[in-house]
Structure 1
Amino acid sequence: MDATGVLDEAWERLHGAGPERMGRLTNHAPMAVEALVARGRGAGVHRWVGRYARKLEEFPAGVERVTGANWASALGDARRVADWVGYFQGEVGERGWSEVLAEWWPRLLPGMYGGSTHPVIRVGHAVRTLLAGETGPRLNELAHGLGYWAARHRPVTGLTPLPGASSAAAALEAVRPIAVRDGGFPARLDRVTGLPVWAADVTDPAEAHRRLTELVRAATHRYATHALRTLPALPRDLWVGDEGALAAALRAIELSEPLA
């Protein structure tokens, strides 16, 4: 991956910016540039970063150093993102990224909902590059992702287990939709009352992988059927042209430069 070094250069540029802007809006650039390079679009990365960087804010100042003794009290404190990034930079540098990831994954996973799940997504992008080869910027990006995740750690509690289901699709169907009201993602999390127990009894790693793959596929298919927001409000005779227009738009995006 990235034999030209474009991704590493882009991440070095972006590590001077914070993981969020304007209070809670996530900085998508670290994830976007990795996706562009992974899809063979690295030629446009620096131009894209130059434009996106205008929106970003400087990396925040630290509050108090996170250590192996006080980390629990700092978990979920968004003011401590710089402290957390610094902690993971030290841990990754001293112990190796895979060991740190294995230790912190179970600690952080219950709070993956924080930051609208962007922190765990950012970690995933970083890990994909590290599996292809270690470099300083890639290790640093993992530290930034883990630090952001720890700072935005946000568990969901008080959930009622829903009846088991025979498939991932059935498990998703068992979840009651959340009414759209005022408030952002954190407010919606507060309205989640139950989750299915579809994979709660899985202990075999291979079966867990199969179940996760099935869940991702089911969620993708569910999005395809639930993301048609405007269509239900239109007269049925206007539905016919939508498929062609959408296909043309998707094709244009596929063929365009990253900034087009």
Structure 2
Amino acid sequence: MTIDEAVAHEGPFDEALERFHRTGPEFEGWLSNHGPMAVEALARNGHDAQIHAWTDDYLNRLDERPRGLSPITPEGWRDPLGDPLRTGDWIDFFLREVRERPWRDVLDIWWPRLLPGIAAGATHGVIRVGHAVAALEVVENEPRIEEFGHALAYWAARWLPVPVVRPQGGADPAAAISGVPAVGDQRFGIRSRIAQLDDEFASAAAKFAAGEPGQERAKVEQIADAAVAFYATHGHGQPTMLVHAATAPNAVARVMPLLRPEHQRPSLEAAWTATAAVVAAYRPAAEVSGQRVPATPEEVIESAAAHGGEHVIKFADTAVRSYQRTGSADALAAAQRAIELDA
């Protein structure tokens, strides 16, 4: 079974989506519901046979889908943006949107509106949208269209703006990531850490080279590649959170072929800002290098699926995509490191 055939299989994957749509996008407070994202990665990488059991186990951790408080109208979307108390209203709103118009039209309207808040849910909003789009590009059916609506709703409810960095330097992604300074106080959560991003951060992040027009998607993929490699030596700083420095730009890259030309550069800038912000928030004081047992992409995915951790599965998927682009064993080593660290 090929990767595309796996994700096109309208059995375990779509059934899992229907089950997850009875749950909320978060549980136990701020924890993100990774179910739809993880099962998409499992299906696309040929592990759809594991989806039922994985879903059964994960559902035990989740909360029910939240109810709405007051309907959101197409004209009145700005005030509830970023209000998690309106999560149920956002779900209702976007399910109406995707049922009444083509999902690509909904993406065209809402991507530029949501993009400035790319830090939403510790970047899980845009990541969930990326997984939803990846599935829809293979098969368009009701569970996948509704998953796209749920993903947009989560992004809107947790919308968190970050001052977008306008790259204007000459550094490649690896060098630019290396130069991003850590925030001073790493005791608290991501909102506290993002609030500490200052002029020193902006100056360092601006050294990234954005490239010429038409290169935006390739540059975003390079950001993901560099963040994957960074994880291999720095993931111990915060094994779970540093995953998102790579999975967020990976999600943006998945969506970019569907975007208008005028949305390409803002998407690149937002993706780089998200990666730089996560690195600044969680980078450790020192790197750690280690020997890894050589592995194939198939073995890495198999190990991640056997581990079962939602972040491990998503990061392994991102790392394998990086390996397919670069041929770098460092990408596969990074996935092994995530498994070792129990990300």
Q: Same fold (TM over 0.5)?
A: yes
CA RMSD of aligned residues (A): 3.0
Give the alignment's TM-score, normalised by structure 2. 0.65
Counterpart of 2:218 (choices 198, 207, 210) is: 210
Instruction: Indicate the residue corresponding to 1:197 in structure 2.
Output: 206
Give the alignment's TM-score, normalised by structure 1. 0.85
Q: Distance in 2 between matches of 1:259 and 1:168?
A: 30
Instruction: Indicate the residue corresponding to 1:28 in structure 2.
Output: 34
Counterpart of 1:254 (choices 282, 287, 302) is: 302
Instruction: Indicate the residue corresponding to 1:75 in structure 2.
Output: 81
Instruction: Indicate the residue corresponding to 1:48 in structure 2.
Output: 54
Provide the secondary structure at the position in 1 that maps to 2:8.
coil
Q: Distance in 2 between matches of 1:42 and 1:55?
A: 21
Instruction: Indicate the residue corresponding to 2:191 in structure 1.
Output: 186
Query: Which amino acid letter does the alignment assign opposite residue 167 of structure 1?
Result: D
Matches within 5 A, 1:107-122: 107-122=113-128
Q: Distance in 1 between matches of 2:118 and 2:165?
A: 19
Matches within 5 A, 1:83-94: 83-94=89-100
* 2:161 is the counterpart of 1:155: yes
Deviation readout 1:29-69 (Å, 9 max, x if unpaired)? 11111111111111111111111111111011111111112
Matches within 5 A, 1:135-146: 135-146=141-152
- Unaligned runs of 5+ residues in structure 1 are none
The answer to whether the Cα contact below 8 Å between 2:118 and 2:162 also exists between their aligned partners in 1 is: no
Change (3 A) 1:216 1:113: same
Q: Distance in 2 between matches of 1:258 and 1:9?
A: 21
Provide the secondary structure at the position in 2 that maps to 1:76.
coil
Provide the secondary structure at the position in 1 that maps to 2:78.
helix
Greater CA radius of gyration, 1 or 2?
1
Query: Which amino acid letter does the alignment assign opposite residue 103 of structure 1?
Result: I
Q: Distance in 1 between matches of 2:81 and 2:215?
A: 31
Q: Distance in 2 between matches of 1:202 and 1:255?
A: 36
* 2:232 is the counterpart of 1:224: yes
Provide the secondary structure at the position in 2 that maps to 1:73.
coil
Provide the secondary structure at the position in 1 that maps to 2:111.
helix
Aligned residues between the structures: 249
The answer to whether the Cα contact below 8 Å between 1:84 and 1:151 also exists between their aligned partners in 2 is: yes
Instruction: Indicate the residue corresponding to 1:243 in structure 2.
Output: 291
Give 1:24 shift: 0.2
Instruction: Indicate the residue corresponding to 2:24 in structure 1.
Output: 18
Instruction: Indicate the residue corresponding to 1:171 in structure 2.
Output: 176
Q: Distance in 2 between matches of 1:173 and 1:256?
A: 27
- Unaligned runs of 5+ residues in structure 2 are 1-6, 239-283, 309-343
The answer to whether the Cα contact below 8 Å between 2:210 and 2:216 also exists between their aligned partners in 1 is: no
Deviation readout 1:149-170 (Å, 9 max, x if unpaired)? 000000024x786872331223
The answer to whether the Cα contact below 8 Å between 1:36 and 1:42 also exists between their aligned partners in 2 is: yes
The answer to whether the Cα contact below 8 Å between 1:110 and 1:155 also exists between their aligned partners in 2 is: yes
